[in-house]
Amino acid sequence: MATEEWNRIVTELPSRLEDSRAYTAQGRVAAYIPELAHAPGNALGIAIMNGASGIITAGDVALPFTLQSISKVFTLLLALMDKGESGVFAKVGMEPTGDNFNSMLKLELVDPGIPFNPLINAGAIAVSSLIAGADPAEKSERILTFFRQLAGDPTIGYNDAVYRSETATAHRNRSLAYFLKANGVLEEDVEEVLEVYFKHCSIEVNCTQLARMAQVLAFDGTDPVTGRQLIPRRYVQIAKSFMITCGMYNESGAFAIRVGLPAKSGVSGGILALVPGKYGIGVVGPALNAKGNSTAGVHLLETLSTEFDWSIF
């Protein structure tokens, strides 16, 4: 049923998006994974789903993009479903770092040398090792199946060029992973864990598919379209807490103040956000700020949250 707010979003979204598009000029497309550098820097798209079949889109919603760090929220959820809270939190902590997403600083500074949280690269690499499966292929298959189920779309797959590009250039992630091995966090073969990690980062979606994944979190683990409980509510609560404290990396504090929604960004320019009990949101805007977050995507979410009073605080 269309509410008054929904009707206002329908009317206002196209112009709000075009206003935010100007902020793409303040960002830069990620290039440390060479294949990502081909993304259009002035693109901006958004899809908002209202928990049933209602969807509003604006801008470049057809643009495919890889999930990158957004996938970390969902691998965390799968690891929690596979290993439980005690299994996961033996290998990864619960605190924000205040450092860059690929920093290794605190791995050596703080005992016992486990990553601070599952949304930084080191933490997500540790989480990849916790996914159940006999080998990297089976783990990756389980992750892809889970993501397809959340998006309600069996056609979702990998961007192989991005996967190969990251595999060939990920010297920093390799060093993080070997450090974790030395610290006893990784028990498996390092390259096998990295294969699982790079693969889930290269899963490709569009804004609509991302919005559908987001609304499962907005409705506490239930897919509002099918009514099926896909994730235990407690684990969604954990994921949303990490999204608030660490989802936008060392910009999470400013994002909580300005936008006030659980969200997760990726270096492809994607942002998943949710308005609890109401909307799942997928955004893409490949031009990034220095913290690795979409300049125009963050601006658009700030505008909408302010206009419609969405902050959870």
Rounded least distance, CB 95 to ligand DON, Å: 18
Out of 23, 163, 197, 235, the active site residue is: 197
CB 213 within 8 A of CB 74: yes
Q: Show contacts with ligand DON in window 235-294 (CB under 6 A).
A: 265-267, 292
Window 108-147: contact mask with ligand DON (x via CB under 6 A)? -------------x--------------------------
Active site residue 197: yes
Choose between 222 and 268: whose C-beta lies nearer to ligand DON.
268
- Binding ligand DON (rule: CB under 6 A), the pick from 102, 165, 208, 295 is 102
Q: Show contacts with ligand DON in window 55-74 (CB under 6 A).
A: 68-69
Choose between 114 and 263: whose C-beta lies nearer to ligand DON.
263
Window 22-61: contact mask with ligand DON (x via CB under 6 A)? ----------------------------------------
Out of 127, 236, 267, 298, the active site residue is: 267
CB 106 within 8 A of CB 116: yes
Active site residue 69: yes
Residue 5 sits at φ, ψ, to 5 deg, of -65, -45
Rounded least distance, CB 257 to ligand DON, Å: 19
Out of 23, 163, 249, 279, the active site residue is: 249
Interface with ligand DON: number of residues (CB under 6 A): 12
Rounded least distance, CB 232 to ligand DON, Å: 26
- Binding ligand DON (rule: CB under 6 A), the pick from 35, 60, 166, 223 is 166
CA distances from 254 to 80, 279, 299 (A): 28, 22, 12
By CB under 6 A, residue 101 contacts ligand DON? yes
Active site residue 178: no
Out of 69, 129, 252, 268, the active site residue is: 69
Residue 95's contacts (CB-CB under 8 Å, 6 or more residues apart) are 116, 117, 245
Which active-site residues does the annotation give? 69, 72, 197, 249, 267
Residues that bind ligand DON (CB under 6 A): 68-69, 101-102, 121, 166, 173, 201, 265-267, 292
